[in-house]
Structure 1
Amino acid sequence: MPSHDYQRVYVWQQPVRWFHWINALCIVTLCTTGYFIAHPPAFMNSGEAAFSFWFGKLRLVHFVTAYVFLGNFMFRLYWSLVGNKYANWRNFFPLSKAQMKQVVDVMTVDVLQSRYKPMRNLGHNSVAYFTYTGTGLLTLFQVASGFALYAPMSDHWFPQLFAWVVPLFGSEQNLRVFHYAVTWLFGIFVFIHVYLVMYHDYVEGHGVLTSIIGGWKFMEKGKAQAEHATGISGLPTKPSKP
């Protein structure tokens, strides 16, 4: 019979939680405004055109949010160096034997659903960390391609840093297609992410859903102590000398 003697462990520090929600808001805003920029609706309005500059305002929201998105991402990179072990950058490269074994376990449970084996992690599991590495690379592409497309319309020095990206894709139109396609990948990621969070919260009961608000997770006491004593999230480390 499973134990009901749980220990509460502080996992997600406040900067990580702020990053998560700011990032979520930016993704929703960028995807929504990006869709309407690619497919602008034809609104009929008999009023003065000067009072109907909605598309320009839409693009302004998109560009401003892009700067916030980039700044938030850069802060997360910084926190991966100074945050606790659950935020550490080494977790995002699941290359050890223990991490690769966990990848197989998660795939059989979450994707194939060929067996029931709740994951015992206070932090993310290795598949989640690997996925976030992928979304991080997509973020870099969206930032580079977005500012490259913005560069011809801006005199500011920052977008000009990315002007070299356009020749790599042959034309602005080609780059715009890739930029738009990655937007849909982010949208798909959001749906899968929300589903898996709810799934693990229901199956494992570790408080994963509320942890991104308060920072706390729950685990059986013995397993929590063993997990909390490790170095990288979910991986064993050498015991410290007395």
Structure 2
Amino acid sequence: MTEATQIHGVLDSHGEKAAELQSVYVYEAPVRIWHWVNAAAIVVLATTGYFIASPLPSTPGEASSQFLMGYIRFAHFSAGYVLAVALLMRIYWAFVGNEHAKQIFYLPVWDRKWLSGVLYEAGWYAFLVKQPKKYIGHNPLGHLVMHLFMLNLAFLVVTGFALYSEGAGRDSWQYKLFGWVFAIWPNSQDVHTWHHLAMWGVILFVIIHIYTAVREDIVSRQSLISSMISGERVFRDEADK
């Protein structure tokens, strides 16, 4: 934590009053690296996944000279591996990192302050309350949404490798680890459909995530965007008590 003019009214992720401060180191380097690697992988996966689901029109000429869809599938599979490895590393860091690295992997649904915080933040984002609350980590609503995002991400990884195993074959490690998905959805087209819908869920999350990050930086006077670069959450003015 840097020494500076201190402010009041800062809360931890459960809504408890934290020490008076202006800035605090929240997101460690591995978390920040995961965030940006994950973002880049999602851009590649969403773009290539769209064209895999809705292929480009056929082009004239010798087939051996037209390998565009092959390149698109290769980029999709490569980004999928990056996403999966990054997710495993992020799970590992939840065990060895600081308390903020663990936050999105569990929901304190037994905590009344957290539950009321979810409702308060929903009102804040809906412009139904006038004053924002300042949190060191994710606010309760952001905490809930990030948890659901991680579950959706895991679903994409599992179904993605299950679909990949169809081409890799029944002897592949992909099928041995993820072939059980077809016991739930015997028709692989159903797996394709759910995988596709889950990616649209990620796209919706990204739109909301960018909007709220920019909005909080401006309206709540607390850093979100720069926090994923420096790791430090900065509170720029005094909150109402």
| Short-chain TM bin | 0.7 to 0.9
- Following superposition, the deviation at residue 63 of structure 1 comes to 1.0
User: Does the 8 A contact of 2:104 with 2:144 survive in 1?
Assistant: no
1:43 positional shift: 4.3
Q: Which one of 152, 160, 165 corresponds to residue 176 of structure 2? A: 160
User: How far apart are the structure 2 equivalents of 1:80 and 1:97?
Assistant: 24
Aligned to 1:106: 121
Higher alpha-carbon deviation: 160-169 or 63-72: 160-169
2:79 to 57, 65, 69: 65
- Which shows bigger deviation, 194-203 or 4-13? 4-13
Q: Choose 191-200 or 116-125, whichever is displaced more.
A: 116-125
Q: Report if the CA contact (8 A) 1:148-1:160 is conserved.
A: no
TM-score by length of 1: 0.83
Checking the alignment, whether the CA contact within 8 Å between 2:221 and 2:237 is kept in structure 1 is no
Aligned residues: 218
1:211 CA drift (Å): 0.9
**Residue 158 of structure 2 aligns with which residue?**
144
Structure 1: distance between partners of 2:73 and 2:136: 40
Instruction: Give the TM-score normalised by the residue count of structure 2.
Output: 0.84
Tell me the residue number matched to 1:24.
39
Partners of 2:155 and 2:235 in 1: CA distance: 37
Cα offset, 1:170, TM superposition: 3.0
Measured after TM superposition, the shift of residue 160 of structure 1 is: 3.4
Which residue of 1 is the match for residue 193 of structure 2?
177
Contact 2:164 2:174 in 1 (8 A): no
**Is the 1:33–1:62 Cα contact (8 Å) retained in structure 2?**
yes
Task: Please say if residues 91 and 126 of structure 1, whose CA atoms lie closer than 8 Å, have aligned partners that are also in contact.
Answer: no
For 1:9, the equivalent position in structure 2 comes to 24
1:81 aligns with 95
**Does the 8 Å contact 1:9/1:216 carry over to 2?**
yes
Please, what is the CA RMSD of the aligned residues? 2.0
Q: What is the CA–CA distance in structure 2 between the aligned matches of 1:90 and 1:129, rounded to whole Å? A: 6
Question: Would the aligned equivalents of 1:100 and 1:126 in 2 still touch at CA under 8 Å?
Answer: yes
Listed one character per residue, the Cα deviations across residues 106-165 of structure 1 (whole Å, up to 9, x for unaligned) are: 01111x321112121121111111111111111121111111111121143134321121
Partner of 1:228: none
Provide the residue aligned with 2:223 in structure 1: 207
1:91: how far off? 6.6
Contact 1:5 1:220 in 2 (8 A): no
For residues 34-53 of structure 1, what are the alpha-carbon distances to aligned partners after superposition, in whole Å with 9 as ceiling and x for unaligned?
1100000114243x432321
1:216 Cα offset (Å):
1.4
One-letter code aligned to 2:87: F
Runs (5+) with no aligned partner, structure 1: 224-242
Match of 1:56 among 43, 48, 70: 70
CA contact (8 A) 2:104 2:146 kept: no
Percent pairwise identity: 32
CA distance in 2, matches of 1:9, 1:24: 24
Please give the secondary structure, in 1, of the residue aligned with 2:226: helix
Structure 1: distance between partners of 2:193 and 2:51: 14
What's the counterpart of residue 226 of structure 1? none
